[in-house]
Structures are given as structure tokens and as C-alpha cells.
Amino acid sequence: MPDTAYPPDKGTPAYLAEFVGTLILVLAICGFISQSSPSVNLLTIGLVHALALMALVGAIGSLSGCHVNPAVTVALLTIRKISPRDATGYLGAQLAGGVCGALLARAFFSARGELLNYGAATVSPRYLHGGSVWLALLAEAIGAFILVWAVMGTAVNPDAPKGVAPWAIGGALGLAVLIFGPATGGAFNPARWFGPALVSGTWTDGWLYVIGPILGAAAAALSYLAIMDASSRVGAAQAPEVGESAVLPPAGGIAPQP
């Protein structure tokens, strides 16, 4: 039977780490967009996302798990990898960090940043059929799925190779931005959407930047956990029973005699 107990609370140090981490993530993304020209290279934007999250996973992963994203927190709460109390603290810290990061981006790059709404995520009719909010919802969900799939595979899976989490998780975010950034702004993170939306007053289609990432992240966590459970059952079924020899017979099919 799988363990259904919640892990112990991490408490205030983890909440502070999530606040600072989300602030840095939003400042890095929105600050870069705010100082860039409207024709900034998509590959560069994807790289900024990847580097920022990669650095944060390495810096605070051992303190809080480096969620820096309410969708990630809700997904891990769904599979009982974080306690309800910690999840509440994480969500508050992430939203506050997102707002502070966006405020700093506005303070540093107010003139140029105002033209780009300080990096606020919006749906682009140029890349989606008529600016379809349903396609945008799906895009945000798939982007969050890609991100959380990497989280599950490298930070939750106990058999994951050591030291790859920053590369895989940061790379997953960068990849998702390269795919969907032009269509939706590539938030995949309600805190990353909320901060610049509040600072710039850009609330259009805001609901999809909350619902989409949460649905995609939860789907990723639940499906990956189901695959892990199925894999463990297959491994247990193939393992030799107690007292059974694990030595295979030779090619002729006759086991060596003692």
C-alpha cells in the first residue's frame, strides 16, 4: 500500500524561500521583457526562463522544494507530497513574491516596461485562431504539464539520477515557453501571471492563467504517480521470491546441478 500520510511541515523558512524564489523568477522574466524591444528573440526569452528556474532549483530546492508556482504546489498537494498547512503558506508566499517581483520590474524599467505591460501574459490572436481562450487554456495546461512532468521525474521520483533536477526543470520551462510563449505569453504559473497583471492592470482572460496551469500540473502529477506505481508493481512481480534462486539456467535450459 502506498504511503498516504502528508510529510512534516517545513514551516517559515520554506515560506521565505518560496517568497524570495518567486520574486526572483518574476523579476527575471518580467524585467527582461520590460527592457526588451517588441521583436525580442523568442529563443532568448526561453533561455531567460530556463536559467532563472535552473538557478532557483539549485539554490532553494533543499529548503522548500522550489515550487515558486502555485500550480506546482497544488499538484503536489493533490498527491500528498506537501501538507495542507505548508501548501497554504507556499501559495501566499508565491503570490506575494510575484507581486513584489513585478513591482521591482516596473521600478527599474518603468518607461519601456509600460509599453509591454511589464511582461503581463496575454492571449495573442496572431498565434491562436482568433485569440481562442480555449486554445489558450489548453496551451497553459500543456505547458504546466511539461513543467510538472519534469518535477515529478527528477525531484519526486526516488530513482531519479542525482543532480539533474535544476537542468531538467529549468529546461522544461524553457521548452514550454518556446512552444507556447508567442500564443499566451507562456506563464504556466498563476503567480507569474498575477504579479504583472496587478501592476499593469492587465486582467483580460485572467481566469485561464489560473485554471489552465493548475489543471495541467495536477494531471501531470497524478499521471506520473500512476506510472510510478505501475512500474513498482511490475518490478515486484518480476523479483524472485524469498528462497528462489535468482540465477538463470544456461542457454540449454538445464540448470547446473549442485
Q: What pLDDT is attached to residue 253? A: 42
Q: How far apart are CA 160 and CA 93, in angstroms?
A: 28
Q: How far apart are CA 134 and CA 140, in angstroms?
A: 10
Q: How far is CA 104 from CA 24, 48, 87, 213, in A?
A: 10, 17, 26, 24
Listed by start position, the domains of the chain span 12-235
Q: What pLDDT is attached to residue 141? A: 98
Task: Name residues whose C-beta falls within 8 Å of residue 196's C-beta, 6 or more positions apart in sequence.
Answer: 26, 30, 102, 105, 117, 118, 119, 120, 121, 202
> In CATH, what is the architecture of 12-235?
Up-down Bundle (1.20)
Tell me the CA end-to-end span of the chain in Å, nearest whole number.
39
Q: What pLDDT is attached to residue 37? A: 67
Q: What pLDDT is attached to residue 233? A: 79
Task: Name residues whose C-beta falls within 8 Å of residue 241's C-beta, 6 or more positions apart in sequence.
Answer: none
Q: Average pLDDT per run of 10 along the chain, which is 258 residues long?
A: 76 97 97 80 94 98 97 98 97 98 93 84 86 94 98 94 95 97 96 96 95 98 95 72 49 42
Q: What pLDDT is attached to residue 245? A: 47
Give the angle subtended at the CA of 176 by the CAs of 175 and 181, to the nearest 5°.
Answer: 110
Extract the C-alpha cell encoding 34.
Answer: 520590460
Question: DSSP assignment of 217-246, as one string?
Answer: HHHHHHHHHHHHHHHHHHHHHHSPPTT---
